[in-house]
């Protein structure tokens, strides 16, 4: 949006001298997180398809007897790829193509686990409270076209993929859910988890479309670690995070959709407070 910051990092790096920038980052992040070199092929792909790639090392304290287990995590923030007035099939296909290119770039960067943003296959239209055409984007979580695409990408790139979608549960009367599908690096659907908490505040009253999920605090065993998905609004509830930790999660994603300054400050404060008490790595990527 016009007049908004590209990012906090972008602002700091463009306005602070090197030494001051280093000190500010120390205050904000506790320690320096060095960038990881991005392969030239990934950079070219990003330039060709108009997206940006950033990479950082997030380290844990080195143990004396246990060798480090290195995992590369990818988080995707994307915009829509077709006009919201275009046919539903056209909009979804355009996003499928866009995300496929981004996933290819992630693979070139050596990503092991890739998480897309909340309801990535559609405009985040829940603020409209209109059923049509937005409910038409809902699809089967186990065998819908988006899951089939993600299975192909996961197998092709040997990558675990977390795919948050609007789910249509045809077995139970076409009930809609806000769901994340987890796909293993060999292309098998490991399962799904549904959004535990939904907002009923202002424009973000999602109960028009779906209700709180019924899957609990699922943890998925993958080749690269035990991971969980705490979708969007669930981040505001500390015991939500606690339960993922109790259930053994090592990595917890928080795919979200928000706008501007609506919840950016809360996100980082909650991140710090929750990771102080829960023993896992937390990855937030709001769409702003």
Q: Active-site residue numbers?
A: 118, 195, 232
Cis previous bond, 217, omega within 30: no
Q: Which of 82, 157, 145, 83 is nearest to 114 (CA)?
A: 157
Contacts for 147 with CB less than 8 Å, ≥ 6 apart: 139, 140, 141, 163, 165, 181, 183, 189
Task: Give the distance from CA 239 to its chain's centroid.
Answer: 20
DSSP code at position 207: G
Asked if residues 73 and 113 have their Cβ atoms less than 8 Å apart, the reply is yes
Please tell me the distance from the alpha carbon of residue 184 to that of residue 155, in angstroms, as a whole number: 8
DSSP code at position 200: E
Helices (H), the chain: 8-15, 18-29, 40-49, 88-108, 145-157, 238-246, 264-275
């Amino acid at each position: 949006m016009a007049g908004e910051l590209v990012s906090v990092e972008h602002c700091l790096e463009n306005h602070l001298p090197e030494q001051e920038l280093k000190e500010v980052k120390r205050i904000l992040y506790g320690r320096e997180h060095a960038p990881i070199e991005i392969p030239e092929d990934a950079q070219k792909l990003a330039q060709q398809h108009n997206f940006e790639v950033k990479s950082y090392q997030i380290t844990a304290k080195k143990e004396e007897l246990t060798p480090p287990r290195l995992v590369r995590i990818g988080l995707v923030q994307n915009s829509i790829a077709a006009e919201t007035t275009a046919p539903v099939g056209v909009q979804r296909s355009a996003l499928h193509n866009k995300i496929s290119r981004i996933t290819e770039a992630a693979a070139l960067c050596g990503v092991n686990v890739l998480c897309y943003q909340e309801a990535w296959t559609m405009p985040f239209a829940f603020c409209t409270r209109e059923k049509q055409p937005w409910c038409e984007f809902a699809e089967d979580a186990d065998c819908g076209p988006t899951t089939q695409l993600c299975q192909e990408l996961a197998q092709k790139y040997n990558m675990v993929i977390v795919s948050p979608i609007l789910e249509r549960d045809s077995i139970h009367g076409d009930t809609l859910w806000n769901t994340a599908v987890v796909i293993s690096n060999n292309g098998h659907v490991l399962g799904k988890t549904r959004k535990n908490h939904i907002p009923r505040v202002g424009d973000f009253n999602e109960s028009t479309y779906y209700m709180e999920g019924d899957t609990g605090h699922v943890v998925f065993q993958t080749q690269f670690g035990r991971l969980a998905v705490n979708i969007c609004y669930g981040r505001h509830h500390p015991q939500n995070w606690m339960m993922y930790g109790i259930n053994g999660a090592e990595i917890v994603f928080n795919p979200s959709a928000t706008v501007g300054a609506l919840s950016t400050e809360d996100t980082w404060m909650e991140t710090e407070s929750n990771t102080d008490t829960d023993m896992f790595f937390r990855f937030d990527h709001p769409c702003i």
